[in-house]
């Protein structure tokens, strides 16, 4: 995803090293932190073994806290929230719930409508969510997490 980012992961690290408030604001307002998919590729290649995906996750949290989320990243944030809500309430990913939540948040209702029936017919989209046994434990995990 580095090719799509406004700042590559290595550039983000260099900008953070400058300890410059302006650079920090640029990073928090960048699209890069939201495009990171935590694939760990940068971590495996980093000669300093910096956990860049973990840092990107931290920067996303700070970006939300400071309300500096890049406008181009709103759909990514909507998907992120829909995914976490699905896991929060069922303990697992519930695809139909995820899709409905994401579509509601983005008002992109008809995108991919031609794919859904095929996936449903192949059993890829169960109607009833699978729920973990101890949902209270899941609630405890999410209690202090704000997104």
Q: Which of 10, 35, 69 is the last residue of a domain?
A: 69
Range of the domain at 94: 72-142
Q: Is residue 147 part of a domain?
A: no
Is residue 40 a contact partner of residue 56, using CB atoms and an 8 Å limit?
no
Distance set, CA 57 to CA 63, 108, 139, 140 (Å): 10, 26, 21, 20
The model's pTM is 0.77
State phi, psi for 135 to the nearest 5 degrees: -70, -20
Q: Which of 54, 69, 84 is the last residue of a domain?
A: 69
77-111 pLDDT, tens per residue?
999 999 988 888 888 899 989 999 999 999 988 88
Q: What is the mean pLDDT of residues 4-32?
A: 94
The token pair that represents 84 in the structure block: 């976490």
Q: Is residue 34 part of a domain?
A: yes
Q: Is residue 125 part of a domain?
A: yes
Q: What is the mean pLDDT of residues 16-25?
A: 96
> Do 81 and 122 fall within a single domain?
yes
Place of tokens 């989320």: 69
46-74 pLDDT, tens per residue?
899 999 999 999 999 999 999 999 999 99
Q: Is residue 6 part of a domain?
A: yes
Q: How many structural domains are present in the chain? A: 2
Res. 132 pLDDT band, cuts 50 70 90: confident
> Do 84 and 135 fall within a single domain?
yes
> Do 57 and 80 fall within a single domain?
no
pLDDT at 145: 66
Q: Is residue 107 part of a domain?
A: yes
Res. 147 pLDDT band, cuts 50 70 90: low
> Do 64 and 77 fall within a single domain?
no
Q: Is residue 56 part of a domain?
A: yes
Q: Which of 48, 69, 90 is the last residue of a domain?
A: 69
Q: What is the mean pLDDT of residues 115-141?
A: 84
> Do 42 and 77 fall within a single domain?
no
Nearest to 38 by CA among 24, 51, 25: 51
């Amino acid at each position: 995803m580095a090719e799509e980012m406004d700042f590559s992961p290595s550039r983000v690290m260099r900008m953070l090293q400058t300890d410059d408030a302006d650079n920090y604001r640029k990073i928090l307002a960048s699209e890069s932190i939201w495009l990171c998919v935590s694939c760990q590729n940068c971590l495996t290649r980093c000669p300093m073994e910096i956990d860049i995906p973990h840092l990107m996750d931290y920067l996303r949290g700070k970006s939300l806290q400071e309300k500096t989320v890049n406008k181009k990243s709103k759909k990514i944030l909507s998907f992120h929230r829909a995914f976490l809500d699905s896991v929060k309430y069922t303990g697992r990913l519930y695809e139909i719930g995820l899709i409905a939540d994401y579509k509601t948040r983005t008002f992109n209702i008809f995108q991919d409508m031609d794919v859904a029936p095929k996936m449903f017919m192949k059993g890829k989209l169960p109607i009833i969510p699978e729920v973990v046994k101890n949902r209270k434990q899941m609630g405890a995990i999410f209690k202090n997490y704000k997104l």
